[in-house]
Amino acid sequence: MAAEIESLRNYSLTELEEILEKRSKGIPVTIDSYTTTVIEVDGTIYEIPEPVNELLNSIYRMYKKEVKKNESVK
């Protein structure tokens, strides 16, 4: 938690208010030069950087491709 507070001290009050307003409306927010996105895993909500989300999607597509390839071999 202390690390989060440290990172927030670099923002003005106006910027923090804008970030909170956007997050409360579910709008993606750019913080520290990356945009975050919200995902749900097993009923738990996580906010992750967009590049991480893209990586997860890519891994999932590779997995599905391999499953499909293995099914056609059987």
Residues 73 and 39 in one domain: yes
Q: Residues 41-54: what's their mean pLDDT?
A: 87
Residues 37 and 67 in one domain: yes
Residues 39 and 73 in one domain: yes
Residues 17 and 50 in one domain: no
Residues 43 and 73 in one domain: yes
pLDDT band at 1 (very low <50, low <70, confident <90, very high): very low
Spatial separation of the C-alpha atoms in residues 58 and 52, rounded to whole Å:
10
Provide the whole-model pTM.
0.54
Q: How many domains does the chain have?
A: 2
pLDDT band at 33 (very low <50, low <70, confident <90, very high): low
Q: Residues 54-68: what's their mean pLDDT?
A: 94
Residue type at 61 in one-letter notation: R
Spatial separation of the C-alpha atoms in residues 43 and 47, rounded to whole Å:
13
Range of the domain at 65: 33-74
Q: Residues 57-71: what's their mean pLDDT?
A: 93
Residues 53 and 37 in one domain: yes
Residues 59 and 73 in one domain: yes
Catalogue the E-assigned strands of the chain.
30-31, 34-41, 44-49
Ranges of H-type helices in the chain:
2-8, 13-24, 50-73
Instruction: Quote the percentage of the chain above a pLDDT of 70.
Output: 84
